[in-house]
Amino acid sequence: MAVTALIIPFGHHGFASKVMSEFTHFNTAGDAHMVDVGDKAVTHRVAVAAGLIRMLPETHAMVSAGTHKKGDVLGIARIAGIMAAKRTSDLIPLCHPIGLTRVTVDFDIEVETTREQRAVECRVTAETRSQTGVEMEALIGLQTALATIYDMCKAVDRGMVIDAVRVLEKRGGKSGNWTAP
């Protein structure tokens, strides 16, 4: 598989300046910067992200029954997801540190799959009363929870696949509510 990179030279004229000015984390010169949210209103904001991890039926049975030799896989993944959501600004360079008021990490082990694979779906909801949104906190919590499942189960199933990671909805803030199509 070939990998293609798009290189856009920065400058004061032309395409690069226009494109870069449309992204909030770049100024018109193309320099990365942290967005100033100081004048934004503090509002209740919620984001929900979801994704899943596909695995062999035998692995799924151990995770579902809680009989994995490493212990309660989903319980540990839940704690890992919450902890990661709280540390998002340490991981994403231009992300604001925000006070989370709630993070939930829920699992659905009854996801419909093929005979050869089963899946565990994870859904993370992050909430705050802040000047900026919580989409990144929900996504980082989600991906960490799924990666924790992989880490705990890789000794018995290295072929697991993390899939369909996405933001499902966001509520609050100046831009209002959004739900994935």
Q: What domains can be seen in the chain, in order of their start residue?
A: 7-36 (no CATH), 43-179 (3.30.70.640)
The SS3 of residue 168 is strand
Of 36, 90, 108, 151, catalytic: 151
Q: Are 49 and 124 in contact (CB under 8 A)?
A: yes
- Report pTM: 0.81
Q: What gap in Å lies between CA 143 and CA 163, rounded to an integer?
A: 10
The SS3 of residue 129 is strand
pLDDT of the chain, 181 residues: tens digit per residue: 555 554 445 444 444 444 444 656 566 666 665 665 656 778 899 999 999 999 999 999 999 988 777 789 999 999 999 999 999 999 988 888 999 999 999 999 988 788 788 999 999 999 999 888 899 999 999 999 999 999 999 999 999 999 999 999 999 988 889 999 9
Q: 151 an active-site residue?
A: yes
